[in-house]
Structure 1
Amino acid sequence: MPDAEIAEFIRRAGYGEFLPDTVVSFPGRNQNVAGTTTGGADVFAKRIRGTGQVRAGLRRAVRFERLAAEQPLKHLRWPAPLAGDPHRGIHVTRWLKNCHTAAEEVADGAFGPEPARELGCALGELHSMSAPAELLPRESLPLPNHRILSALSVSQYVESSAGLIALWRIIQRDSAMAEAVRRLREDESSAAAVPIHADLRLDQVLVDRGELLLCDWEEFRRGDAARDVGAVVGEFLFRSVVGIADEEFPPADGEADGTPDPARAHEEIMTRGVGRLGAALPTLTAFADGYRSVRTAPDPGLAVRAVAFAGWHLFDRVLAAAAFRSDLSPVHRAAAGVGRTALVTPAAFVAVLGLEAV
């Protein structure tokens, strides 16, 4: 059941009590709960943890809903807002009880060129929205940060898992990667500023009876469109590599205990990852075509910056995974290697990732 404060808020908003046998909780850093109420409403309630972050995040989400409602949009959709209180950190939207995520569709092989093109159109509309600078300021985001690629504070080191320390050991010796991140932040700061989601992942794209809806707008702001475009591409890159973990690696002759040699395993992972990425190329190309069919404003260097952000997205995902591991798996090492390559030489991979139209 939801906590008492959420239940009280839903009741005072006029939707009644949650029906106990309909309540569903969802994992995440915030409290996420949904259910049908005695008033007949299907509601999804999010309670954002923290104090200052609560107010800032919900203000951004509400700001998006208000600005977007004033736009003549054809592709961009989001769950209908019902109620909210930034001071208490509670935000309520309509619960799409039979929906699933784009991440689930990608995993099932069901997210092909058609929905990818629609996602590109939706992002193109978002990045083309008109919003006065005084209502939607340009705000910098903390990551990527080249400084953490060269040194950790004592508290960061103490709080890191063994898997995370193994990753830090690899990347903190890599001056080329640190320079690439520094250069990306410089390019981002000089790029055109447009309305962006700023924290986009495929599990934040809901699919409801064939319609795509983008959720979780707590980081909404004015910024570089390449962050959003790169995040989508980075999701496909990450899944192209990490999905290999579910595949079998038959040992070669002479390998002890049936365990593949680490060097051979890495080579096999990369080979299979290239194959998976090749299979995803039509989907990525459709995404880019959809994006440019809607957003026609020039944005020099967008594709190159998007590839670099895609590379950072892989590192961000590997960092999150390593935080809960006692080691760094071969698959995550491969993902980190792909991310590094995209960060350091992004221009070389624009065509490989289907972003020529961008």
Structure 2
Amino acid sequence: MHTSVLDPAPDGAPQADALLVRLGLGEFVPGSIRARPGRNASWSGPTRSGRHVFVKQLQGPAEDSLQRFRRALAFEDTVSQAREPQLCSPPLLGHSEPGRFLVHACLDARSGAELLADHAWDEALSQALGRTVAAVHMLPPRPDTAEETPPPLLPPLHLLDALPEQGYLMATQGELELWRLLQRDTELIDSLHRLRESEQQAPGRPSHCDLRLDQVLVHGGTPALVDWEEFRCADPARDIGSVVGELLWTAVTRIPAAHDDTSSASGPVSPHDIAAAGTREWQRLRPLATAFWHGYRDADKSRRPEPDPLLAARACGFAGWHLLDRVLAHAGEQARLPATGLAAVGIGRRILTAPHHTTAVLGLTETS
């Protein structure tokens, strides 16, 4: 909800204004509204009452948007009942189910993704984020939510057999290239099936289930999580792996710059060059993964003395999947997979096929 990077919304948001008036917040101050791109429509800015608000309208098919709306409210209800001090998400000021609107206080904050890109995300923030994620996982489960909410859709195992006709026709060449790689890799497919099976056997805990660093807001030096539309009981390894996967993806995306900084020769980049540059970048980022893990484990141990011995390995598996998911998201904008995308697929594959052997490499080691 950091507004300095948002683009002005020329047409305003009349439906949002009407809701804000009903909530007693007053409409947006004319000329001050900012919109942000994304899956959903959203606006932020000051209202006539002086409050700065962030308004999100969930988009998509009616049933899907309704379920996401209700999951977001389930998180708000759970937190309000638990009174968890470690969770400092922006307060919910109001909502409208028919319009799929959620109104939150707008924080003067920067996202974790922005801070990481600026090399301003440090070990202290990583450790604090670990404690925050642990606090989510220690929330009291809601039996009604656990019964009504299906497990997360990703990884989409059914697409590993074949894409549906419409999906195939609408896919970019980059996406088709990636799906061909995945669908021909029987060892990787088996690994993804094992990951989903291990997830089903793990004890479910309240989880974010769509955690990326752009959904982490840092306000006053404290990380807060936003975008709770996928909230449900799930394997906590999913959230942990997503954070580690974000750091891995950052290391991959920095490979071109890292190679340029150390190479004096011109010409095509070799696989060896890519691997070496990626290793250097991960060595820089690995302490952040370790700090996050230690923050999580220390907070978790303080409340639950019997740790899950397989948690780290499952988290590594989800980190590997997160890499593939990020490549797939970017492939939708590309005519073909770039060398860094292929490198990310290779790294994700190695992690997924042997998650138990990658815990130390990824920084998920126990505290001393």
TM-score (norm. length: structure 2): 0.91
Which amino acid counterpart does residue 289 of structure 1 have in structure 2?
Answer: H
Q: Distance in 2 between matches of 1:19 and 1:252?
A: 54
Displacement of 1:60 in angstroms is 1.0
Check conservation: 1:146, 1:179, Cα contact below 8 A.
no
Question: Aligned pair 1:242/2:246, yes or no?
Answer: no
Q: Deviation string for 1:162-211 (max 9, x for gaps)? A: 11111112221100000000011100001001000000000000011212
Equivalent of residue 156 in structure 2, options 145, 161, 185: 145
Which amino acid counterpart does residue 329 of structure 1 have in structure 2?
Answer: P
Which residue does the alignment assign to 1:119? 129
Displacement of 1:331 in angstroms is 0.7
Cα distance, 1:160–1:248 mapped onto 2, change above 3 Å: same
Aligned length: 350
Check conservation: 1:54, 1:86, Cα contact below 8 A.
no
Which amino acid counterpart does residue 214 of structure 1 have in structure 2?
Answer: L
Displacement of 1:135 in angstroms is 4.4
Which residue does the alignment assign to 1:357? 366
Displacement of 1:3 in angstroms is 2.7
Q: Distance in 2 between matches of 1:340 and 1:84?
A: 42
Q: Distance in 1 between matches of 2:156 and 2:27?
A: 45
Question: Aligned pair 1:259/2:267, yes or no?
Answer: yes
Displacement of 1:251 in angstroms is 7.5
Displacement of 1:26 in angstroms is 0.8
Aligned residue for 1:110, secondary structure, equals coil
- Structure 2 gap ranges (5+): 1-8
Q: Distance in 2 between matches of 1:248 and 1:271?
A: 8
Which residue does the alignment assign to 1:276? 281
Displacement of 1:252 in angstroms is 7.5
Displacement of 1:270 in angstroms is 1.4
Which amino acid counterpart does residue 31 of structure 1 have in structure 2?
Answer: A
How do residues 1-358 of structure 1 correspond to structure 2 at under 5 angstroms? 1=9, 2-50=12-60, 51-96=62-107, 98-137=108-147, 139-247=150-258, 249=260, 258-261=266-269, 264=270, 266-296=271-301, 297=304, 298-357=307-366
Which amino acid counterpart does residue 200 of structure 2 have in structure 1?
Answer: S
Percent of aligned pairs with the same amino acid: 36
Aligned residue for 1:295, secondary structure, equals helix
Which amino acid counterpart does residue 86 of structure 1 have in structure 2?
Answer: E
Displacement of 1:301 in angstroms is 0.9
Aligned residue for 1:92, secondary structure, equals strand
Q: Distance in 1 between matches of 2:131 and 2:259?
A: 37
Check conservation: 1:192, 1:299, Cα contact below 8 A.
no
Q: Deviation string for 1:96-123 (max 9, x for gaps)? A: 1x31101111111111110100000011
- Structure 1 gap ranges (5+): none
Q: Distance in 2 between matches of 1:67 and 1:87?
A: 22
Q: Distance in 2 between matches of 1:22 and 1:234?
A: 36
Check conservation: 1:252, 1:260, Cα contact below 8 A.
no
Q: Distance in 1 between matches of 2:345 and 2:36?
A: 28
Displacement of 1:217 in angstroms is 0.4
